[in-house]
Amino acid sequence: MDDVIIVGAGIGGLTLALTLHRAGIACRVYEAADAIRPVGVGVNLLPHAVRVLSDLGLRDALARVAVTTQEAVFFNRFGQLIYREALGRFAGFDWPQFSIHRGDLQAVLLDAFKVRVGADRLHLGWRCVGADQDADGVSVRFCRAGDDGDLPAQRGAALIACDGIHSVIRKQFYPGEGDPVYSGYNMWRGVTRWPPFLSGASMVRAGWLATGKMVIYPIRDAIDADGRQLVNWVVEIETPHYKRRDWNRPGRLDDFIGAVADWHFDWLDVPAFLRASDVVLEFPMIDQDPLPRWSFDRITVLGDAAHPMVPRGSNGAGQAILDAQVLADMLVAHTDPVRALLDYEAQRREVTSNIVLTNRKNPPDAILREVFLRTGDKPFERIEDVIAREELVALSDGYKRVSGSSKEALAGSGRP
């Protein structure tokens, strides 16, 4: 088979390149950015995604740079504990959950790519502008990123568009798709260097979107002589308007800190913690309706290009990683790439569409919504009087089933 052409050296594109290389399928990666920089803040890798990366031999490299997450904890905005559950290895999974800086995750993938696939197979500064195909292969068109000068079209056996939320290949197949769907919630995010809190590896969700919700978790351990961690934080608030999606858009503390001004918990002084942040970014919680079709003969989409989702269930990066695994398996199973891409879509489109839709309505933080509604946003005496533990467990387990991250799903086929 000719080389498979991968557009985008993000999390999905690099994972795909590594899985293809392991399977003996040659590929080349084309990335618009002129350098891979450690941009972004934190992401979580659930055990289902860590399994794929462990199969690629990357588990130790990830463990060295990530925090091995121990537990999820949910609080109301008064700091009262609602629910606590163990995660990853601490919950008896065979694979850990990692909380990690997106830049560190990408660096682990990139280092492995350079050693295994070869640095000469990554082309930086190549912005894909479209693709054509015929019975024998694909022809992918590029411009030089920055000055828009033409670059030579690249031939390959298939094109896998891993070009993220603004995918040009998705647009090529769906030119009239229209604007993304806005959830009504804006998100501010950043990282703060801070002493360990709670277990030192806790993923905290607190408050609720109507008045202000936070997600807080450490992503790097022992970053200085004082033993501080790099801690990722996200503030989400109901907001009528949003600005275009841009992962790097700077945000302003004053636009949201009022919502959490009185969050002084015994384990964290939230306003002080936010004021100490190294960076503040702004991103709207938007997604796109699931697509009716991904694969068009020798061209398909993967990761955010295929299923952009609101980041509410730690599945954005993970599902791109699972896509990559399945697609590589299908390209091994079928000598005909057209058939492989169809089978990949058959295994992944419906599953990920369900996650996109569930993230809109019932991600794990539905636990917070239930308590917010049932208490009328007031402190409670005893959580058992508000909601039964079984109900909380059911909300959490329901999401795990949809996203394929339950123990049962992982114990199954050996594949997502």
Ligand X SMILES: Cc1cc2nc3c(=O)[nH]c(=O)nc-3n(C[C@H](O)[C@H](O)[C@H](O)COP(=O)(O)OP(=O)(O)OC[C@H]3O[C@@H](n4cnc5c(N)ncnc54)[C@H](O)[C@@H]3O)c2cc1C
Nearest-approach distance from CB 3 to ligand X, in angstroms: 16
Q: Of the ranges 36-44, 347-355, 377-385, 391-399, which one interacts with ligand X (CB under 6 A)?
A: 36-44
- Position among 39, 276, 346, 394 found at the interface with ligand X (CB under 6 A): 39
Paired residues of 216 in beta bridges: 204, 233
Q: Which of 208, 186, 204, 185 is nearest to 373 (CA)?
A: 208
Contact between 10 and ligand X (CB under 6 A)? yes
Q: Of the ranges 24-32, 130-138, 208-216, 389-397, which one interacts with ligand X (CB under 6 A)?
A: 24-32
- Position among 1, 26, 33, 181 found at the interface with ligand X (CB under 6 A): 33
Contact between 143 and ligand X (CB under 6 A)? no
Q: Reduced to 3 states, what is the DSSP secondary structure of residue 217?
A: strand
Contact between 168 and ligand X (CB under 6 A)? yes
Contact between 127 and ligand X (CB under 6 A)? yes
Cβ atoms within 10 Å of 389's Cβ, excluding its own: 10
Within residues 175-214, the interface with ligand X by CB under 6 A covers none
Q: Residue 290 gets which letter from DSSP?
A: P
- Position among 17, 27, 30, 77 found at the interface with ligand X (CB under 6 A): 30
The maximal CA–CA distance of the chain, rounded, in angstroms, is 68
Integer Cα distance of 103 and 84 in angstroms: 29
Nearer residue to ligand X within complex by CB, 166 or 193: 166
Size of the site for ligand X (CB under 6 A): 32
Nearest-approach distance from CB 329 to ligand X, in angstroms: 18
Nearer residue to ligand X within complex by CB, 137 or 164: 164
Are residues 244 and 195 in contact, defined by beta-carbon separation less than 8 angstroms?
no
Q: Of the ranges 72-80, 157-165, 213-221, 333-341, which one interacts with ligand X (CB under 6 A)?
A: 157-165
Contact between 303 and ligand X (CB under 6 A)? yes
Paired residues of 279 in beta bridges: 191
Integer Cα distance of 140 and 123 in angstroms: 13
Angle at alpha carbon of residue 317, lines to 311 and 198, rounded to 5° = 65
Are residues 189 and 35 in contact, defined by beta-carbon separation less than 8 angstroms?
no
Integer Cα distance of 39 and 413 in angstroms: 35
Q: Which helix (H) or strand (E) holds 403?
A: helix 389-403
Q: Of the ranges 31-39, 50-58, 71-79, 350-358, which one interacts with ligand X (CB under 6 A)?
A: 31-39
Integer Cα distance of 135 and 99 in angstroms: 44
Contact between 236 and ligand X (CB under 6 A)? no
Where does this chain bind ligand X (CB under 6 A)?
7-13, 30-33, 39-41, 43, 102, 127-128, 162-164, 166, 168, 247-248, 303-305, 311, 316-317, 320
